[in-house]
Amino acid sequence: MTLAEWLATRFPAPPPALRDRLGDLLATRGEEDASAAPDACLDAAEELLASLLRDGCTSRASALDLLAVDALVTYAFEAAAAEPGSLDDRAGRAMARVSAAATVPAA
């Protein structure tokens, strides 16, 4: 199963606008094996969050992208749950990466 196929199987399905945005954000990795989901989703969330913060896009107009960041992190851990022994380490690394994105200077 590919990452794109895995994303399409999430239940409950995200609203169409969010589903499409997630597809766009993961498009370059969509053909990877679904086992890449934890890293692919976290990478995309980190990149989008850093971009939003760098550009000062934290208003209501950025709501879809902020929801996408949240969904990507959620999906990263949903996928990572397949390897429960790695969750503590993965959570620590994810927190460090997300908090580092918050230190990006605004434009």
The Cα-based distances of 87 to 60, 68, 102 in angstroms read: 32, 21, 22
HSE-up of 10 (CA within 13 Å, CB side)? 22
Residue 1 near residue 34, CB atoms below 8 Å:
yes
Rounded Cα gap, residues 8 and 6, in angstroms: 5
Residue 49 near residue 101, CB atoms below 8 Å:
yes
**For residue range 2-28, what is the model confidence (pLDDT) as tens digits?**
999 999 999 999 999 999 999 999 999
Name the pTM for this structure: 0.85
Task: Calculate the CA 33 to chain-centre distance.
Answer: 16
**For residue range 34-77, what is the model confidence (pLDDT) as tens digits?**
999 999 999 999 999 989 988 887 778 899 999 999 999 999 99
